[in-house]
Amino acid sequence: MMLLVNTLIVLATVAGMEAFAWYAHKYIMHGWGWGWHRSHHEPRRGWFEKNDLYAVVFAGIAILLIALGTAGGYPLQWIGAGMTLYGALYFLAHDGLVHQRWPFRYVPRKGYLKRLYQAHRMHHAVTGREGCVSFGFLVAPSISTLKRQLREKHGGPVKKATTLDAARDR
């Protein structure tokens, strides 16, 4: 029974992290935390960008929760494990699939991965921090919804998500 409870805690944490990540991306990273996140919306120079400090902070929190949980603070270790799983999924989908920051060159042609890929590319269709759409990392609205939102915010046609300027993809 505890295995089921712990698994549910991990999965609920992954879902909660997506909700938190959406909020943090929209209101912190594109708000008062723009100083770190700006590097993600500019062409990358080198292997790392200042925005990667967010991953370091969240990894530190997950490590702390796992340590506290294994020292007797149940269920903190499972919350930390859920944060870690979310971080791994983020790394695969965002840094790997969308931004191709590691030697993994795959552009999805259909289904969920294509929608996720296009939605994040549309997030980068806007220069700067204002007027962006699609702030989630693992959940993405439909492309037609995002195109409509961009048109409403900027008035005018939107580039196809698959042909966005590669320099803004960094």
pLDDT given for residue 157 in this prediction: 59
One-letter amino acid of 33: G
Residue 39 sits in which domain range?
2-98
Same domain membership, residue 74 and residue 34: yes
Taking only the tens place, the pLDDT of each residue in 11-25 is 999 999 999 999 999
Cα–Cα distance for residue pair 114/165, rounded to 1 Å: 17
Residue 105 in domain: no
pLDDT given for residue 154 in this prediction: 83
One-letter amino acid of 150: L
The neighbour count for residue 30, using CB atoms within 10 Å, is 20
Residue 139 in domain: yes
Is residue 145 within 8 A of residue 161, CB to CB? The reply is no
Residue 103 in domain: no
- With a cut of 90, say whether residue 127 has pLDDT above it: no
Residue 104 in domain: no
Same domain membership, residue 150 and residue 81: no
Same domain membership, residue 44 and residue 128: no
